[in-house]
Amino acid sequence: MRSLARRTERAFTGQYWNSKDDGVFQCVCCGQPLFDTKTKFDSGTGWPSFWQLLEENNVSLVADNSWFAKRTEVTCSRCDAHLGHVFEDGPRPTGLRYCMNSAALKLAPRATEK
């Protein structure tokens, strides 16, 4: 059972779409680390977008053929929460755009090294 509905918030309305704060974005449901803010970029879409995952194993990619389109859904690999979608129109070096819902994310301070 999904922790978050498979719905997408309206563009330019989420808490993090234009955030410039530093830290690590985590899954709002289980706290799993997902994205470093250093990989966040302005995609012009109105949703927080990232060009790289923090750890590949922290998400699952699922075929999504809803709304008459072929997309790839991104879910949390720990709790199966819907996070957003990934597209192949992002910047270098990956060419990917992880387009996430602000409601699915929680920004945490970056861990300090001792």
Q: State yes or no: pLDDT of 14 exceeds 90.
A: yes
The SS3 assignment for 12 reads coil
**Amino acid type, 104:** A
> What is 34-98 written as a DSSP string?
EEEGGGEE--SSSS-EESS-S-GGGEEEEEE--TTS-EEEEEETTT--EEEEEES---TTT--EE
* Gap between the terminal Cα atoms of the chain: 39
User: Looking at 27, 29, 76, 99, which residue is catalytic?
Assistant: 99
Of the two residues 76 and 65, the one the predictor is more confident about is 76
| 21-66: pLDDT as tens digits | 999 999 999 999 999 999 999 999 999 999 999 999 999 999 988 7
Q: How confident is the model at residue 7 (pLDDT cuts 50, 70, 90)?
A: low
**Amino acid type, 111:** A
What pTM did the predictor assign?
A: 0.88
Residue 79 bears catalytic tag: no
